[in-house]
């Protein structure tokens, strides 16, 4: 990969700090950060500081930064039932010897925190952007020393995710664990946000939540995500009636709300759909699916688990509908925008479409329980004209409100606003 050209001395110098790299594009959060960075490198000098797993290599160069610096650490791996014994020690230590939410234990690393401090205090940067709350603890304890303005870019309201996941737990021990993590996050999230000069979210819904629930006065606004519209015409699977049509669900399957949504759909919604359309097939397109997904697929016909794929779009455009059956989550679901840009109509829960402010019955169909979701899916499967109309309306909305160029420009505007405010206060 060729190195980026010199950024030039007059450009804004930005230090971007995150946990994990921005390639490959395997989740909505990574896609969001990647495209914003790709826009910034056209206008600014970007130095990316990343916390990575010790087994991950540092690439010689990346397209989203002029300079990449990595701290490698032994981090906890993704949760799965098979790793229960690996997790029990860290969970118990967190519960009885810490007040932090357990998610922050995934990214605790003294070397990373020291490196963040050194780079921020180096005087080499005009602005610091912390990408998501998990890196915010690295800013604790030395706010008074900082002179460079800082932004926290939040993809989600974390406490909202934990609260919603708590409501889904049936095991009493898991309910107690999630309840405790929700309590901790509600205390820690606003405190960590206050370490920064400004907070940005990826939806106006989340920005309002921070202002109204957490009473944070320095939430500047939101940077909506985007998507590259792939086609102006819906694919054949949408325009034509299909024998054995595919329903898609796209998302990183190591994110608990996605895992819950896919299992709930396979167990509760898909059987209702198949009472009327037994030929329907279900395709789960996503990174790191748990073993239980493959077990479900093996015991039920017409379910495909793709795992990590080189590109989502070709598999998605073979599908007639995408379903987004999320029962928990926060932020904005990139999977919906991706589907809208691909010309594939969406059926979503209200939580799934939260923050996008899409029009029900025009740009997607909304339904919140298993019977309603199955009925909405059947409507689309049986009505090519409705599929075409919704796909075209959604595509037009993408071109109007959800392009990455617009998102990047908005972020740059916020960066200059923060710099001006810091200059005035100084």
The model's pLDDT over 249-259, given as tens digits with 9 standing for 90+, comes to: 999 988 889 99
Residue 111 has what pLDDT? Answer: 96
Give the long-range contacts of residues 50-56, CB within 8 A, separation 24 or more: 50/17, 50/18, 50/19, 50/20, 50/21, 51/18, 51/19, 51/20, 51/75, 51/107, 51/109, 51/112, 51/135, 52/20, 52/21, 56/21
* pLDDT value for 78: 66
pLDDT mean over 222-233 = 83
Domains detected in the chain: 12-226+404-425 (3.40.50.2000), 236-401 (3.40.50.2000)
Mean local confidence (pLDDT), 196-215: 95
Average pLDDT over residues 271-283: 96
Q: What percent of the chain stands above pLDDT 90?
A: 74
pLDDT higher than 90, residue 55: no
Percent of the chain with pLDDT over 70: 94
Average pLDDT, the chain: 91
Give the pLDDT confidence score for residue 367 in this predicted structure: 97
**Amino acid 368: pLDDT:** 95
Phi first, then psi: what are they for 152, rounded to 5°? -100, 120
pLDDT for the residue numbered 82: 60
The answer to whether 194 and 391 are in contact (CB under 8 A) is: no
Distance from chain centroid for Cα 422: 29
H/E run at residue 340: helix 334-342
Residue 231 has pLDDT above 70, yes or no: no
Query: What is the 3-state composition of the chain as percent helix, strand, coil, each rounded to the nearest 5?
Result: 45, 15, 40
End-to-end CA distance of the chain: 41
Q: What is the pLDDT of residue 77?
A: 66
Q: What is the pLDDT of residue 103?
A: 85
Measure CA 235 to chain center: 26
Least confident of 70-84, 251-265, 337-351: 70-84
Host H or E run for residue 298: helix 291-299
| pLDDT digits 0-9 by tens, 91-114 | 888 888 888 888 887 788 999 999
Q: Which of 212, 225, 186, 234 is nearest to 335 (CA)?
A: 225
Q: Which two tokens stand for residue 159?
A: 């406490």
Q: Show Cβ contacts of residue 176 under 8 Å, excluding neighbours closer than 6 positions.
A: none
**β-pair partners for 289:** none
For residue 24, is the peptide bond before it cis, meaning its omega torsion is within 30 degrees of 0? yes
pLDDT value for 248: 97
Burial of 379 (0-12, 13-18, 19+ CB in 10 A): middle
Residue 37 reports pLDDT greater than 70: yes
Which residue in 74, 147, 145 sits closest to 112, CA to CA? Answer: 74
Query: How many other C-beta atoms lie within 10 A of the C-beta of residue 215?
Result: 8
- Identify which has the larger pLDDT, 425 or 312: 312
CA–CA gap between residue 139 and residue 107 (Å, rounded)? 13
Sequence-separated (6 or more) residues with CB below 8 Å from residue 396: none
The pLDDT tens digits of the residues spanning 361-402 come to 999 999 999 999 999 999 999 999 999 999 999 999 999 999
The pLDDT tens digits for 10-30 are: 689 999 999 999 999 988 999
Has residue 66 got a pLDDT over 90? yes
**pLDDT for 83:** 63
Both tokens assigned to 326: 């999320």
206 Rama class: left (phi>0) / alpha (psi -120 to 50) / beta: alpha
Q: What is the pLDDT of residue 105?
A: 79
Residue 220 φ/ψ region, left for φ over 0, alpha for ψ in the -120 to 50 degree band, beta for the rest = alpha
Chain segment 145-189, per-residue pLDDT in tens = 999 999 999 999 999 999 999 999 988 988 998 999 999 999 999
**Strand ranges in 308-374 using DSSP code E only, listed in sequence order:** 321-324, 346-348, 365-366
């Amino acid at each position: 990969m060729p190195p980026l050209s010199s950024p030039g001395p007059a450009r804004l110098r930005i230090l971007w700090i995150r946990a994990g790299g921005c390639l490959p594009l395997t989740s909505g959060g990574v896609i969001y950060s990647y495209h914003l960075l790709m826009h910034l490198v056209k206008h600014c000098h970007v130095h990316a500081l990343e916390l990575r797993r010790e087994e991950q290599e540092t690439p010689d160069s990346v397209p989203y930064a002029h300079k990449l610096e990595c701290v490698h650490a032994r981090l906890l791996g993704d949760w799965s039932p098979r790793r229960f014994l690996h997790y029990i020690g860290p969970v118990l230590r967190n519960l009885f010897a810490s007040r932090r939410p357990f998610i922050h234990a995934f990214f605790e690393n003294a070397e990373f925190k020291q490196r963040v401090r050194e780079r921020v205090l180096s005087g080499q940067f005009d602005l610091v952007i912390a990408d998501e709350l998990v890196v915010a603890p690295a800013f604790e304890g030395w706010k008074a020393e900082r002179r460079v303005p800082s932004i926290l870019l939040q993809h989600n309201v974390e406490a909202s995710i934990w609260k919603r996941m708590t409501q889904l737990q049936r095991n009493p021990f898991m309910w107690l664990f999630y309840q405790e993590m929700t309590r901790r996050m509600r205390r820690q999230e606003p405190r960590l946000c206050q370490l920064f000069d400004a907070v940005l979210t990826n939806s106006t819904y989340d920005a309002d939540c921070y202002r109204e629930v957490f009473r944070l006065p320095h939430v500047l606004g939101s940077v909506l995500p985007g998507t590259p519209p792939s086609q102006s015409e819906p694919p054949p699977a949408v325009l034509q009636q299909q024998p054995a049509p595919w329903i898609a669900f796209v998302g990183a399957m190591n994110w608990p709300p996605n895992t819950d949504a896919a299992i709930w759909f396979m167990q509760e919604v898909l059987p209702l759909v198949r009472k009327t359309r037994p030929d329907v097939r279900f395709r789960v397109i996503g990174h790191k699916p748990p073993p239980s997904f493959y077990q479900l697929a093996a015991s039920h016909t017409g379910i495909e688990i793709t795992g990590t794929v080189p590109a989502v779009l070709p598999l998605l455009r073979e599908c007639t509908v995408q379903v987004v059956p999320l029962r928990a989550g926060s932020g904005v679901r990139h999977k919906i925008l991706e589907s809208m840009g691909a010309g594939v109509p969406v059926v979503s829960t209200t939580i799934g479409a939260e923050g996008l402010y899409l029009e029900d019955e025009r740009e997607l169909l909304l339904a919140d329980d298993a019977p309603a979701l199955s009925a909405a899916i059947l409507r689309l499967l049986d009505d090519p004209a409705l599929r075409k109309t919704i796909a075209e309306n959604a595509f037009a909305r993408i071109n109007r409100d959800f392009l990455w160029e617009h998102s990047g420009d908005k972020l740059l505007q916020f960066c200059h606003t923060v710099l001006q405010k810091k200059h005035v206060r100084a």
